[in-house]
Structure 1
Amino acid sequence: MTEVLFYHLTESRLEQALPDLLEKSLARGWRVVVQCSSTERRDALDNHLWTYREDSFLPHGSDAESSGALQPVLLTVDPKQRANEPHVRFLVDGAVPDTLTGYVRAVYLFDGHDGEQLQTARGRWKVEKAAGHAVTYWQQTEEGRWVKKA
């Protein structure tokens, strides 16, 4: 079964938290797909990942380009997108996957100040737990560090 992590953003925004989590995934040798809720969000994250820090490079691309299969990190809005043969699927802004079968890990990142995202995360927790996945819940401390809560 897939290891499913729920990351509850309470102190930082997605743009601050996502790059570090992607870097950690790549350091493990994993290929990643990031599923967004809209093309506008996908494109904004695409631009952000090029400029989020001056001393870092995060190789990535979006499925709006033809080189998706070559990307270590692929941004998409398609719940079935697996062109880069990912090990990990990140789901942001309330995005919902087609299936989590075949992934080593799935990560739901949701904004704790957005009621709709909270509701979606709660619903997905129930779905993923009922599917037999190993589910854990992580919340940010005031310093922005992750603490396992469940």
Structure 2
Amino acid sequence: MRPGSWCLLVALLAVSAISLNAQSEESTDSVSHALPLPSTASQLSDLRQKLADSERQRQELTKQLQDSGAQQETIALGQLRQENQKLKLQLKEAQSVMPLRILTEQQQWFVAGGGVALIALLCGIFASGWRRQRRQWLN
């Protein structure tokens, strides 16, 4: 190898050794902070007790919330049923007031067209005078 490559290799090894040393120091610091001190053992047990109490309270509150949500749903369901009955009653009243239609709009147009055709046929018959004459073209 060339002498320049040896220098580069040594420099890289030195940098990696320094970074490994720094990482090991950080890991030992974090381990020392993670271990509880004997004086904090009582605090730790108190915190665990408080955690258990708060979890129990959270479960109770969740149950109460679900119960109140179910009560609100039943109230809303009752209101919707009452409103539905009122709307059905209004619909029946509105239908009783409206005259009963025998024909739809499309059927009415069909009847009107048939009436016009019948009137045109009668006008044609009366205009000819009921005469049966043979009309031929004169050559």
Question: Which bin holds the TM-score, normalised by the shorter protein?
Answer: under 0.3
Higher relative contact order (CA 8 A, sep 6+): 1
Bigger Cα Rg: 2
TM-score between both structures, scaled by the size of structure 2: 0.17
Structure in which a larger fraction of residues adopt helix: 2
TM-score between both structures, scaled by the size of structure 1: 0.16
Structure in which a larger fraction of residues adopt strand: 1
